[in-house]
Amino acid sequence: MSNRQALVIGASQGLGLVLANELVRRGRQVIATTRRSGGELQANADASNGRLKVESLEMTSPADLSALRERLEGVRLDLLFVNAAIDRGNLSIDQVPTDMFTEVMITNALSPLRALEALRGLVVPGGTVAVMSSEQGSISRNTEHGYELYKAGKAALNQLMRSYTTRHADDGHTKLLIDPGHNRTRLGGFDAPLAPEESIPAVVDVLEAQAGAPGLQFLDLHGEIVPW
């Protein structure tokens, strides 16, 4: 059994669930978090002969992050991947209520970086910390109207990841923002062109190809650079 171990934050459904499964399929030990017990993730864990373990986490809760860090004391990760985001519809920014703006920014930008800060000490030198971003967060590619709040949240995520990289430039970790493409999930919509079962193996190929690379890169599922 491989001693390579990954932690996937936000794996109860969609891209995170498929990512956890793909990492297990490729021989990693995987710890995957969910806000709710049971479901497909737990069923997969039960059938994995111990290769997939489930932890409870509400990522927006600093107390939950601290408790998870304590429970994982002594675990050594070669990959920490944060996958969590919400979408609150296609409103122009003048129609977005303040509480909705706050909710999206906390979930899509602030909390992923809090998770990295809380858990980065578990990642071995030469390991990878990665966050699921989106082409929607690219400022230079924002040439069509729509989904303004979601785009702003992903752009904020990218900027915070830049700041994280600046502060932790010498920690020996590969740092990645990943655009997985437009997938058929609850978040992406069920008329999207990609299936997670198609895109996630390509994402894992990128993670493996970039392991050990210095600095921060914003890449798509083909390993191509996404412009900031």
Q: What is the domain-level CATH number for residue 77?
A: 3.40.50.720
Strands 5-9 and 216-220 turn out to be: unpaired
| pLDDT reading at 193 higher than 90 | no
Q: How far is the first Cα of the chain from the last one, in angstroms, to the nearest whole number? A: 39
What pLDDT score does 146 carry?
87
What pLDDT score does 181 carry?
87
Mean per-residue pLDDT, 184-201: 80
The answer to the question of residue 125 being in a domain is yes
Residue 140 tokens read as: 């230079």
What's at 84, amino acid-wise? A
The answer to the question of residue 32 being in a domain is yes
| pLDDT reading at 1 higher than 60 | no
Domain boundaries, position 184: 5-220
The proportion of the chain whose per-residue pLDDT surpasses 90, expressed as a percent, equals 85
Q: Are 41 and 84 in contact (CB under 8 A)?
A: no
Residue 109 tokens read as: 């930008």
Residue 190 tokens read as: 């069920």
What pLDDT score does 196 carry?
86
The answer to the question of residue 188 being in a domain is yes
What pLDDT score does 195 carry?
84
The answer to the question of residue 15 being in a domain is yes
| pLDDT reading at 74 higher than 90 | yes
Q: Are 224 and 210 in contact (CB under 8 A)?
A: no
| pLDDT reading at 50 higher than 50 | yes
Alpha-carbon gap, residue 42 to 25, rounded angstroms: 16
| pLDDT reading at 186 higher than 80 | no
What residue spans of the chain are helical by DSSP H? Answer: 14-25, 39-46, 62-71, 98-105, 111-119, 148-167, 196-210
Calculate the average pLDDT of the chain.
94
The answer to the question of residue 38 being in a domain is yes
The proportion of the chain whose per-residue pLDDT surpasses 70, expressed as a percent, equals 97
What pLDDT score does 182 carry?
81
pLDDT in tens, 138-183: 999 999 888 999 999 999 999 999 999 999 999 999 999 999 988 7
Alpha-carbon gap, residue 123 to 6, rounded angstroms: 9
The answer to the question of residue 227 being in a domain is no
Give the pLDDT band (50/70/90) at residue 188.
Answer: low
Alpha-carbon gap, residue 18 to 204, rounded angstroms: 11
What pLDDT score does 208 carry?
97
Give the pLDDT band (50/70/90) at residue 191.
Answer: confident
The answer to the question of residue 143 being in a domain is yes
Mean per-residue pLDDT, 199-222: 96
What pLDDT score does 2 carry?
61
**Of 30-44, 140-154, 183-197, the least confident:** 183-197
* CA dist 199 → 111, 140, 184, 223 (Å): 24, 23, 10, 12
Q: Are 154 and 110 in contact (CB under 8 A)?
A: no
The number of folded domains in the chain is: 1
The answer to the question of residue 226 being in a domain is no
